[in-house]
Chains A and B, each alone.
Chain A
């Protein structure tokens, strides 16, 4: 029994050590990015941008985020572990604008520069925030929706969640723009599917079944938008769908015409600018309070344009 136990111990120790080997190949700056998510293609595109900047400026970047965008405490644990690692700089996309304040203070006390990305925090510790103006981006989606449905009729929104900054800003940006600028358009329903494709599909179907005269749905993030198209296809509906972000599935839907178009942020740019800002900070350069990473509306006709193709991800 002791042999077996020692063996198991030895094997797991070896596995751990070999998995951690890349950690010893560090050079120059060590930058820890704590993101809002990880598996989602959007965050992977942010990571790709960060890696690109890391290669360009000679830094080592780690990228981590919790499994879902509600796990605020898990994100705190990740930030705490990153601080213990004593990186040269930290990039942080806050799930909650206040929860991280004590940890950010720790970073400040340890003279570790913090760059916020994607979402800001209620704190003056981050030197800058690299982000998309989500309210303006969703308002652009509202303008395009109005244009495509001829300025009147019923529309709906399927969004990812009610608590995150992007969820709130995109719903508000879309709904308020419709209210202000298009009196003949009515937003009949705003529903939340957690960014889950299947759940968003079911939501879209129920909205369509409840409102047979619906003209269009805005899907406020990648998972929501894909769900909306799935729901539309399953019910053989012809409504106008406008999505958000990109990814292979959404790009395919736009190619095929199932989705009219989508708003894209510049996730690669968010990652790139975050790392670039961190390095500027380490070199003692001053930074603007906000780095606007921009957004575009794209459809089948404009997808191939170089400035748009460059920010779309698969």
Chain B
């Protein structure tokens, strides 16, 4: 975090990112190979699609968390913000009976709006991100229950809503591989987020805030504005996750969401993004999220007792981060 450390880190970003990506990717391949050998049911089209479908929500949330974590912050509210956005969509579509596109816009706007508020609390009021987003996590959890009247809101009156995540645009063209739309949306969000991070001013400031916030401030940049923009972008992405989960369940489930932030953060960390900020990639996070779902699915296919599934998952998280530490020592 000092000036001296910032200079070499800058030139190292690309190389170290590529290395870690390779490592996480080979871990993913290793898991896929092991499970394929262990069970003939693993590498079936239907199961691969189930894995991708299971990755879609956590993947999108993890991408939102990646942006924030690269700035050196943390967002504990991604899970309940997703739920909040789903509930808002439910209100717009089911309670107000408005057309589907308005529901989609409402979800993303709600997410962006909440992100703006969180970002403002963090940047202007100087509340640490951990505390600000912890508070926001609880506020949103409560508001989701209040707004929904503590009941799930179903989308039975909006035909086509389930198509957002469950339909398959790809399957309409290539019937053999009906990749669910939810998965394509995950890839789309990943592509956009990667573009923003690597090609835009917002991306450059995201990394700069995480590497050396003070230096950025001293160079005359309005860091508050960029920080708020990052949280708002992450919030908008959570709005997409809200649409995905609501479409998948054909309902906004107001009690769901808490705990999902930890899976998102796990995916980010496995994917090689540093919790201390300044370093990370979207593709890494995507691979991290895939590792989590491949592990969960594969262990289930092999009928591994559930209590052992969690032990293995925890072990893999520690191994992934340890491997990252070994690699950095060797550089």
Residues of A within 8 A of B (CB): 1, 4-5, 8-9, 12-13, 15-17, 19-20, 22-23, 38, 60, 62-65, 67-68, 70-73, 76-78, 80-86, 96, 98-99, 101-102, 106, 161-163, 192
Contact = CB atoms under 8 A, between A and B. Distances in A.
B5 interface: no
A62 B303 contact: yes
Contact of B323 (A5, A81, A192): A5
B41 A20 contact: no
A5 B23 contact: yes
Contacts of B150: 162-163, 192
A38 B307 CA distance: 9
B34 A85 contact: no
Contact of B253 (A63, A102, A163, A192): A163
Contacts of A86: 41
Contacts of B27: 9
Contacts of B121: none
Given A63-B306, A162-B150, A163-B152, A81 B297 contact: yes
A99 B301 contact: no
A12 B302 contact: no
B284 interface: no
B315 interface: yes
13 contacts: A5-B26, A12-B316, A16-B312, A17-B38, A38-B306, A70-B256, A72-B251, A73-B57, A96-B251, A101-B250, A162-B145, A162-B255, A163-B254
Pick from A5, A60, A101, A161 the residue with the most CB of B within 10 Å: A5
Nearest to B49: A80
Contact of B154 (A22, A23, A63, A98): A98
Given A13-B30, A81-B47, A86-B41, A1 B326 contact: yes
A76 B256 contact: no
Interface of B: 23, 26-27, 30-31, 34-35, 38-39, 41-42, 44, 46-47, 50, 53-54, 57, 145, 150-152, 154, 166, 245, 248-251, 253-259, 293, 296-308, 312, 315-316, 319, 322-323, 326-327, 330
Given A81-B297, A162-B150, 4 more contacts: A1-B326, A23-B39, A62-B303, A84-B44
A17 B154 contact: no
Contact of B303 (A73, A76, A85, A96): A85
B255 A161 contact: yes
A73 B46 CA distance: 18
B308 to A, nearest CB: 5
B301 A81 contact: yes
A73 B249 contact: yes
B249 A99 contact: yes
B248 to A, nearest CB: 6
A98 B250 contact: yes
B256 A73 contact: yes
Contacts of A23: 38-39, 302-304
Given A80-B53, A163-B151, A20 B303 contact: yes
A110 to B, nearest CB: 9
Given A19-B312, A163-B150, A77 B250 contact: no
Nearest to A65: B306
Given A9-B30, A19-B308, A81 B249 contact: no
Contact of B249 (A64, A80, A96): A96
Contact of A71 (B145, B256, B312): B256
A81 B300 contact: yes
A15 B312 contact: yes
Given A67-B259, A162-B151, A84 B47 contact: yes
Contacts of A70: 253, 255-258
Contacts of A162: 145, 150-151, 255
A177 to B, nearest CB: 21
A63 B27 CA distance: 28
